[in-house]
A and B are shown apart, each in its own frame.
Chain A
Amino acid sequence: MPSSNVFWTLVKYELKSGYMTRKKMRKGKMPQKIWLMYAVLLFIVFLCFTVYATNQHWGFQLRNVWYFTLGLPWMLFGYGMGAIKNEWENSTEGWWLTLPYSRNTLIGAKYIAALLKTLYILLVTYALAIVYGVLYGVCISVLKGGFPLHEVIFFIVSGFWWYLLLMGLMPLMVSIGVLVAVIKYTNAKYISPLIYFFMFILGYGMYGGLGVMNQKHNLYSIFSGETSPGSSPFPVVFFYFLIAGWILAYLLTRFSAYLLKNKLDV
């Protein structure tokens, strides 16, 4: 089979696996209908809470909802980590690592699959957020009369900038997740604290640095409503950092492959 076909076959199987481990399967999968019911219920409760809170003059606004998604970058990291960890949790690592393809191919396929999964989740959650914003507007128009168009558009646009940032960070966060998981199974375990320190710096850079770079116009001032999200909340220099992050993501993925080839501890 040509190597590109093998690569995409590996990606396809990775996507199909759904990160299902033996342990999770033994516990039993919640039926899709029940899962959907809970999700809809949570969505409605949260919508009711937002409508109620914005009408109580607590200072809560629709755009503040984005604060609840600040944990999403860690989900990206978790997906990268899970892609590798699952092989060991399922005791299938021996099969995976002795496939007759280079470590770059094996790791690369997992990395691309994790990227596609996280991209899918980001797109779905953003689409849900748009629906959420519109429903909020409908509820308000029923309660007060008049659709709060400006507020809803503000919410959708500020979310757009946030999700754009997440998509930009996605390659790096997933590659760090892959590396952290790989390190655990190699003789290079001693560099784990360094990686976590790097993660801390990255986290600070993202959450804190964005505010420091431009105090008048940043993501948080948009979430809080202090400034309008009409233009990019990121200074130009931030995009250079993002591109550097993608290059770093590539290097980290190659490094993960190198570790699996030369430093495996089995």
Chain B
Amino acid sequence: MTASIVNCQQITKRYGDKHALDELNVSIPENKIVGILGPNGSGKSTFFRMITGLVKPDSGEIEVLGKRPGSGINREIAYLPDRARWYPNHTVAGAFEWAEKLLPGFDIANAKELADFMEMKRDMRVSGMSRGQEARLMLILCMARNVPLIILDEPFSGIDVISRERIIEGMIDYLSDRDQTILISTHEIYEVEGMFDYAIFLNQGKAILSGDTEELRAQYGSMHDIFRQFYRYGKGGF
């Protein structure tokens, strides 16, 4: 049986009257690329913030790499936050230097390799970058870390289709032979679903479906089809 890297039991998080997570039970297997899928407001970002210790659950238990979330365990996690930007006064080289000094496990040689692949010049200043270029830089800063868990919250937002395809191709190449668990939330399911080994579908703060993508495909069709069918017709399920 595969070991779990993240375990949630009956996690609830409310913002006012709204349940961001509602008695969520999830177990994420390690060393897999996992798609965390769901429409806006389904709880994906809150779930990620909880894994990194940014928010605490109102009730329930969460374990990440066998420990409670917090700054200590963040040494083992590379996290690309939703709607994040990078420091505008940095250059690409400056951002790598920052990461090398402050992010444990950051491998500058890997970062340079990824930057070349993604056509990022070292002297580019963030304040002069397009949103897509900035998104690539942030992706590199996460992917170049030798840590057991990588969390990418909407990593492709703001990146044009052509660049996106190139980045995804690079990610598949780069991540395929690494012993890391990668959690990705995205709306671009159609383009990235080939990457996923495992998928978790969230709706209104609950996990409504999860499993190995091969098995899910055999049962329901592509991830994209599952997404469209399920969320188009509401909470009816399968």
Listed in ascending order, the chain A residues whose CB lies under 8 Å from chain B are 1, 6, 9-10, 13, 16-18, 20-22, 25-26, 90-92, 94-95, 97-103, 262, 264, 266
Residue of B nearest to A10 (CB): B102
A262 touches B79 (CB 8 A): no
Check B56 for interface membership: any CB of A closer than 8 A: yes
Which of A25, A91, A97, A100 sits near B75, CB closer than 8 Å?
A100
Residue among B52, B102, B127 facing the most chain A CB atoms (10 A cut-off):
B102
Band of interface residues on B: 20 to 34
Residue of B nearest to A99 (CB): B102
A-B contact count (CB 8 A): 68
A100-B72 CB under 8 A given contacts A90-B88, A264-B54, A264-B55:
yes
A98-B127 CB under 8 A given contacts A103-B71, A262-B56, A266-B49:
no
Q: List 8 A-B contacts (CB under 8 A).
A: A20-B88, A25-B89, A90-B85, A92-B84, A94-B79, A95-B84, A98-B52, A100-B75
B85 touches A92 (CB 8 A): yes
Listed in ascending order, the chain B residues whose CB lies under 8 Å from chain A are 49, 52-56, 71-75, 77, 79, 81-89, 98, 101-104, 127
B101 touches A1 (CB 8 A): yes
A22-B52 CB under 8 A given contacts A100-B74, A101-B71:
no
* Complex interface: chain A residues within 8 A of B84 (CB): 91-92, 94-95
Residue among B52, B72, B82, B84 facing the most chain A CB atoms (10 A cut-off):
B84
A97 touches B102 (CB 8 A): no
- A sample of 5 more A-B contacts (CB under 8 A), given A1-B101, A94-B79, is A98-B77, A100-B75, A101-B71, A103-B71, A264-B55
* Complex interface: chain B residues within 8 A of A21 (CB): 88
Which of A91, A97, A101, A264 sits near B85, CB closer than 8 Å?
A91
* Complex interface: chain B residues within 8 A of A92 (CB): 84-87
Residue of B nearest to A260 (CB): B54
* Complex interface: chain B residues within 8 A of A22 (CB): 85, 88, 127
* Complex interface: chain B residues within 8 A of A90 (CB): 85, 87-88
* Complex interface: chain A residues within 8 A of B75 (CB): 100
* Complex interface: chain B residues within 8 A of A102 (CB): 71
Residue of B nearest to A26 (CB): B127
A41 to chain B, nearest CB (A): 28
Measured in the bound complex, the distance between the Cα atoms of B73 and A22 in whole Å is 30
Which of B71, B82, B89 sits near A99, CB closer than 8 Å?
B71
A15 to chain B, nearest CB (A): 12
B54 touches A266 (CB 8 A): yes
B141 to chain A, nearest CB (A): 8
Measured in the bound complex, the distance between the Cα atoms of B86 and A21 in whole Å is 11
Residue of B nearest to A17 (CB): B89
B88 touches A25 (CB 8 A): yes
Residue of A nearest to B52 (CB): A98
B102 touches A6 (CB 8 A): yes
Residue of B nearest to A262 (CB): B56
B74 touches A99 (CB 8 A): yes
Measured in the bound complex, the distance between the Cα atoms of B171 and A196 in whole Å is 50
Residue among A26, A99, A102 facing the most chain B CB atoms (10 A cut-off):
A99
Measured in the bound complex, the distance between the Cα atoms of B86 and A91 in whole Å is 7
* Complex interface: chain B residues within 8 A of A97 (CB): 54
A98-B79 CB under 8 A given contacts A22-B88, A26-B127, A266-B49:
yes
* Complex interface: chain A residues within 8 A of B103 (CB): 99-100
B81 touches A95 (CB 8 A): yes
A29 to chain B, nearest CB (A): 10
* Complex interface: chain B residues within 8 A of A16 (CB): 89
Measured in the bound complex, the distance between the Cα atoms of B88 and A152 in whole Å is 44
* Complex interface: chain A residues within 8 A of B81 (CB): 94-95, 98
A60 to chain B, nearest CB (A): 43
Residue of B nearest to A9 (CB): B101
Residue of B nearest to A106 (CB): B71
* Complex interface: chain B residues within 8 A of A95 (CB): 81, 84, 86
B89 touches A20 (CB 8 A): yes
A250 to chain B, nearest CB (A): 21
Residue among A10, A95, A262, A264 facing the most chain B CB atoms (10 A cut-off):
A95
B34 to chain A, nearest CB (A): 19
Measured in the bound complex, the distance between the Cα atoms of B125 and A22 in whole Å is 12
